[in-house]
Structure 1
Amino acid sequence: MNTIFKPAILFIIIVALASCGGSKKALTEALEQQRRDSIALAKKNKIHPIQKKYASILNVRPEKISNIKLFEFIDGWMNTPYKLGGEDKSGIDCSFFVQYIYHDVYDVLIERTAEKQFNAPDTDRFKGQKYLRQGDLIFFNPQGSEFAPITHVGFYLGNNKFVHSTARRETTGPGVKISNLKDPYWQRLFVSAGRKPLKPEVLNSKLEP
């Protein structure tokens, strides 16, 4: 039964119990059930602060930020300095950052370097950016060519935004940040996207506005 109709139905039951001489116990139980349903509905519709924060950054509705674990992980690493070969919050590089996301959020171990992540047999590579989904990897190099070594990798979030650890300063300096894939700089360096095997419910997340 649809939740939005329950309060009205319970109200009718309560009125019927009262008008027909229903027992006090039944009336109390009906009122308690209505209270429980109201609390459950409020919890279901409650927007987490992390949803509000990243909905604003990604320019989507808060309810579209469904993977709370992912965005809490990202939030804990935002603005961490970039460091080539770094693997902790004193400094981290791009490939370890996405490896860390996959390990901590999805319980999946992927390769350590961007080049190995790109060339891994289970990386399903594709060029069409319109097919990107949350969880996809995005590979870059200065030539924007698949025939040159991959030098950078990011993690796609949705709505053309991706999170990565970068040496590029942009507006907030180097480090872990969310960037726009449609920025001409990243478009010029874009080589390919890559999809790793994940659970179906993860792969179905596209995060449209």
Structure 2
Amino acid sequence: MTKTIILTALAIISVVLSYFYEVAPAKSATSENAPAAYTITPYAINSGEDMVRALEFYEPIEEEETPEAKEYFSKKLNMRFANPEAKDLVETVAQWVGTPYRYGRSSKKGTDCSGFVTSIYREVYGVNLRRSSHSMFQEVQRIKKDSIQTGDLVFFRRSPKQPVFHVGIYLKNGKFIHSATSGGVMVSSLKEPFYRNYYYAAGRVN
């Protein structure tokens, strides 16, 4: 009886061991052969194939090109300009720097203030201005001092009862170019005592 019980118990143990030996490895093999359930997320890509699939749906964002500032530097004027529309004006007036003052003249051999301005406007803009600074002032659009732009005209007079006696072409940062009786064509500043005291108005040629 005891022998039969022992044999029965051994048979049961054998069956159980056989089950774990055959079935458990089979499940393991099935999981190894089965395709992996990879997940593609923005933070991780599980395989090279997944990366290819992800890139197929990736659309690169094109960056907008920032236009480069079209600045240029005038050596003769020792000034830098960013407005391309003023380039012709700046290059032209720079060629006149150092021209001696000659009353009633308007050439690079000699010129007075109004002769210089009329020559520049004719050459750069194709505009014929009136010859004297006083008459020139009568045909421009008056503008405020804080609204002056490159190419506008600046006028000077000695007192409210006297007419305009001098004119120049505004450049930038309070600087203007003109033909002075002492020095000829040169760049000056509206902040200089003489021009600050006699400054009258600014005008724009339409």
CA contact (8 A) 1:55 1:64 kept: no
Q: CA deviation at 1:159?
A: 1.4
Indicate how the Cα distance of structure 1 residues 191 and 52 shifts in structure 2: closer, same or farther if over 3 A, else same: same
CA contact (8 A) 1:55 1:65 kept: no
Q: Does 1:95 align with 2:114?
A: yes
Structure having greater relative contact order (Cα 8 Å, sep ≥ 6): 1
Corresponding residue number in structure 1 for 2:176: 162
Q: 1:21-44 CA distances to partner (integer Å, 9 max, x unpaired)?
A: xxxxxxxxxxxxxxxxxxxx9xx9
Over the aligned positions, Cα root-mean-square deviation in angstroms equals 2.5
Task: Determine helix, strand or coil for the equivalent of 1:185.
Answer: helix
Relative to the length of structure 1, the TM-score reads 0.60
Match of 2:158 among 139, 142, 146: 142
CA distance in 2: counterparts of 1:193 and 1:46, whole angstroms: 28
Q: What is the CA deviation profile of residues 126-165 of structure 1, one whole-angstrom value per residue up to 9, with x for unaligned ones? A: 4x3111111211111222x3x3111100011121111100
Q: Which has the higher helix share?
A: 1
**2:90 matched to which residue of 1?**
71
Structure 2 residue aligned with 1:152: 166
Deviation above 6 Å: which 4+ runs of structure 1? none
Residues 148 and 202 of structure 2 are in contact (CA less than 8 Å); yes or no, is this contact kept in structure 1? yes
Counterpart AA for 2:120: I
Residues 54 and 67 (structure 1 numbering): CA distance in 2 closer, same or farther, change over 3 Å? farther
Report if aligned partners of 2:69, 2:82 keep a CA contact under 8 Å in 1.
no
1:28-43 aligned within 5 A:
none
Q: Shift in Å at residue 85 of structure 1?
A: 0.5
**Alignment partner for residue 114 of structure 1, among 98, 116, 133?**
133
- Measure the CA separation in 2 of the matches of 1:63 and 1:124: 24
Amino-acid identity (%): 33
Q: CA deviation at 1:46?
A: 9.7
Tell me if the contact between 2:178 and 2:186 (Cα under 8 Å) persists in the aligned partners.
yes
Q: For residues 71-90 of structure 1, what are the alpha-carbon distances to aligned partners after superposition, in whole Å with 9 as ceiling and x for unaligned?
A: 22112111000111112122
Structure with higher Rg: it is 2
* TM-score with structure 2 setting the length: 0.61
| Corresponding residue pairs, total | 141
Distance 1:107 1:97 in 2: 14
Partner of residue 133 from structure 1, selected from 135, 149, 153: 149
Q: Distance between the aligned counterparts of 2:108 and 2:76, measured in 1?
A: 25
For structure 2, list consecutive stretches of 5 or more residues without a partner in the other structure.
Answer: 1-64
